[in-house]
Structure 1
């Protein structure tokens, strides 16, 4: 029997705010001394009262609008009741029946083309503390307790691990463009859980879902879903029944492991948070948040295609990071710049240097203006591609002007026909076997002779002219 995979995703995104969700403590907790960003509110001391972080509300509303959600003017915070050592109150302040954002969608690319994944809700809550296990004891760091956490919940329209991967990438891209979050999964700024079930192909009934946690990387998401789908198929084919449980992903072993039975909403005994008033958002507040939205990835992709004529592969790479897209566009808008050449160099030489030095585009040592000047020298025939790469290296390592570097290093391209004719003749005379192969129709050998001419001219010969002269002298 063939089965269809049914997946719903819950993505938790830590918001980049200065303070926590309901108190004035610093929200930064990564690599911070334990229990230094805490106060009576986030550690649940008697009598301490919460105050809603307005910036967290704005960032969540912006995310909701970017995901095509409706902003609910009336929303309510609720207590989600459960006991765990990293939860000092004994409950988590979240949103349940009346979330801030609902009924949106995200467009991904599936095997059959573009596909919309429904976003049921985007709501706000507070993060928990962190347990640190040391030998026989477990210590608790409450620096993270109370940090603003945005939860994005999909419907069950994801059908494969690849679709889940693409969906997560789109979410991370959006929150980064908005400045809502770093989206760094390795730092815990973005965490996700997958609700996975299978059903016979053609069936409208949902199977028993299993929640998989501990997905702390994109690779883990893809691998865990693939493994869990296969596990559920095996259970059913062996005559068993899939149980509704919470599984944890064991990255080292590459398997899911049962953690506990899966809770339902009734288990959490949600009720409105009595220490917070209902939130009533004015229409002007919602409109203002909408006006503050930057250009989003999908809109930028469409514009890059229309204005710069780039292919979808280049566009996807360039818009992955808003700062990279801005660097490209600053260069591409210079007078006389060729957008395709700029894109090739940004995704080629620039990216290679950034990766080698593990730095961001903001730290690039070649400015957009310098890159355009370098490419203009290539376009005008002043230097060839090999020389351009040498100039680029000099620019990156020492700075300066492309034209000045060309002059100082003597890299100007040789395009004088008489001078090149002499070099070509010398190379042909030194390589008679290669010359005969070309005469016999093996034109691939032309590349070999071109390489020899480049050596003879210390890489300064005009490649196109060299190729023409080789063929002319050999009469092919």
Structure 2
């Protein structure tokens, strides 16, 4: 029997951790990697008598995010208690938003994976603020079955962005998530580090099966807490096949009510049932008595709108046009967020060479940031310093390898380019002096000369090394050019 026509219906719930230094309702740090249960207080532990206080920055970041995805910002939003029990939720409820979220009725336009020349508009139902729960760690591998609870994440500010069920394929979901992540990072709303839990994805998926003109809907399954885009795609591909196979085995009904929660096993690459999905009534939502509603004036919304600036797409196009860099290079810079775009702008302006600036940022700056787990806002080598350093390289005043010595010196010690150059004893090399040095090395290395005359270009490597030993300020490229010219003239 041939497969019947089917349509996949997917809606995504994306939890974005807001880039605040403190939690949503208390002053505890949100920094990742702290020792378990060291970033907690009576408020996030839910101890009796402890009262929450709203983090104003979280409100502003949520509005920024909402405006970026074309949401309306209602004049009033309020807080609700979402009741459920779980070991890592010490209060027994989560402070969230139910009927009056901070952002509503948005849209995110994505490129259609099936047609590069087309776009699709994915509707956003809502984006609401809520606090995160803690983390349960199960010691099943050791055989004891013990569980440990780390409550450091309790109270971490999350913005849950809920789409309408407008997505049809795993590829569309990846395009949507990529665009959403890029937007949140660019605006400084979140770092979206999935390995740190700053971006998590739940997917609601079911099938519409056309059985001889009658549409049959499979039960909706929510796949929870996927922490990589690869897992999202794999889980959706698997779940679509699983639901169709289940429908074939169990027959069909005109309508199946209810919603089930599944997990994703990324080792076995299968979805598995966890529990029957609660409905809103099961959570017993009611307004949080400890927090007043928040009124957001239109004037404040417009003030925040004016700070949004260019979109990631606009930034990519501008960098390519303004500085002549490749599309890939612009993608890398823009994907790091607006702060990196501003850093690049300053470096490229200072040195007058966008391509050189792009190369150094990708090879040296980004590598160092990754090694040090740092961000560009606190990077020791400022954009002005790097721009001045690269200007010296462009003018031929400093060879690339010595420029990297200067870069490393500033990275480790701070200070200006001039101070670093002086401390390292870097001096300009007179070309006649360098030519004399190269000639003496050629005279002392006849085998190198013979190999170069026979077309072995690699033979010049040891000669350059000897030149650097005798004069650390010698530019390897200049040594190469002088050596080849002297051999040709001999």
Taking structure 1 as the reference length, what is the TM-score of the superposition? 0.75
Tell me by how many angstroms 1:460 deviates: 3.6
Q: Distance in 2 between matches of 1:17 and 1:359?
A: 16
Out of 101, 109, 127, the position equivalent to 1:122 is 127
Alpha carbons of 1:366 and 1:274: their partners in 2 closer, same or farther (altered >3 Å)?
closer
Aligned 1:80-95 pairs, distance under 5 A = 80-87=82-89, 91-95=93-97
Q: What secondary structure does 2:271 align onto?
A: strand
Q: Could you tell me how far apart the structure 1 residues matched to 2:287 and 2:413 are?
A: 62
Q: Using the TM superposition, give the Cα deviation of residue 61 of structure 1 relative to its aligned residue in structure 2, in angstroms.
A: 1.7
Moved more, 427-436 or 107-116: 427-436
Shift in CA distance, 290/455, structure 1 to aligned 2, threshold 3 Å: closer
Partner of 2:340: 324
Q: Equivalent residue of 1:213, what SS? A: strand
Provide closer, same or farther for how the CA distance between residues 284 and 418 of structure 1 changes in structure 2, counting only shifts above 3 A.
closer
Q: Report the CA distance shift for 1:141/1:357 in structure 2 as closer, same or farther (over 3 A).
A: closer
Measure, in 1, the Cα distance between the counterparts of 2:69 and 2:314: 13
Q: Work out which of the residue numbers 268, 276, 284 in structure 1 matches 2:299.
A: 284
Is the CA contact (8 Å cut-off) linking 2:63 and 2:103 kept in structure 1?
yes
The aligned runs of 1:21-420 (5 Å cut-off) are 21=24, 24=26, 26=28, 28=30, 31=35, 33=37, 36-39=40-43, 43=46, 45=48, 54-87=56-89, 91-109=93-111, 111=113, 112-113=115-116, 115-131=120-136, 144-161=153-170, 163-197=172-206, 208-229=219-240, 231-232=242-243, 235=246, 244-265=259-280, 267-268=282-283, 270=285, 280-293=295-308, 296-319=311-334, 320-334=336-350, 336-362=351-377, 364-389=379-404, 392-393=407-408, 396=411, 401=418, 404=421, 408=425, 412=429, 414=431
**Match of 2:192, SS?**
coil
SS at match of 1:156: coil
Q: Please give the alpha-carbon distance, in whole angstroms, between the structure 2 residues aligned to 1:34 and 1:132.
A: 16
CA distance in 2 between counterparts of 1:364 and 1:280 reads 37
The Cα of 1:469 is off from its aligned counterpart by 3.4
- Give the distance between the partners of 1:363 and 1:341, measured in 2 at CA: 22
Q: 1:43 to 1:309 in 2, by over 3 A?
A: same
For residues 363 and 277 of structure 1, the distance between their equivalents in structure 2, rounded to whole angstroms, comes to 36
Q: Could you tell me which residue of structure 2 aligns to residue 448 of structure 1?
A: 458
- 1:63-119, CA deviations, whole angstroms, 9 ceiling, x for partnerless residues? 101221111224454454444444456554433343221222334455333554332
Structure 1 residues 373 and 35: alpha-carbon distance in aligned structure 2, compared to 1, 3 A threshold: closer
Question: Residue 5 of structure 1: CA displacement?
Answer: 5.2
The normalised TM-score by structure 2 is: 0.73
The secondary structure found in structure 1 opposite 2:42 is coil
| Rounded Cα–Cα distance in structure 1 between residues aligned with 2:431 and 2:250 | 76
CA distance in 2, matches of 1:275, 1:408: 64
- The CA deviation string for residues 232-261 of structure 1, in whole angstroms up to 9 with x for no partner, is 465567787899521112244443221112
Q: How many pairs were matched up? A: 461
Counterpart CA distance in 2 for 1:387 and 1:11 is 46
Contact 2:14 2:202 survives alignment (8 Å):
yes
* TM superposition shift of 1:286: 2.5
Q: 2:78, 2:101 within 8 Å by CA — same for their partners in 1?
A: yes
Task: Give the whole-Å Cα distance in 2 for the aligned partners of 1:397 and 1:148.
Answer: 34
Structure 1 CA distance, aligned partners of 2:55 and 2:434?
72
SS of equivalent residue, structure 1 residue 381: coil
1:430–1:347 Cα change, 3 Å: closer
Partner of residue 442, structure 1:
none
Cα shift readout 1:352-383 (whole Å, capped 9, x = no counterpart): 33334444335545443343333333323345
Shift of 1:346: 0.9
Residues 304-363 of structure 1 deviation map (CA, whole Å, 9 limit, x = unaligned): 2343233221122112233333322221222x5211111111111223333344443355
CA gap of 1:434–1:252, structure 2 versus 1, over 3 A, is same
Measure, in 1, the Cα distance between the counterparts of 2:6 and 2:428. 63
Instruction: Find the aligned partners of 2:152 and 2:380 in 1 and give their Cα distance.
Output: 37
- Judging changes above 3 Å, is the alpha-carbon distance between structure 1 residues 54 and 344 closer, same or farther for their aligned structure 2 residues? closer
Q: Which moved more, 1:8-17 or 1:79-88?
A: 79-88
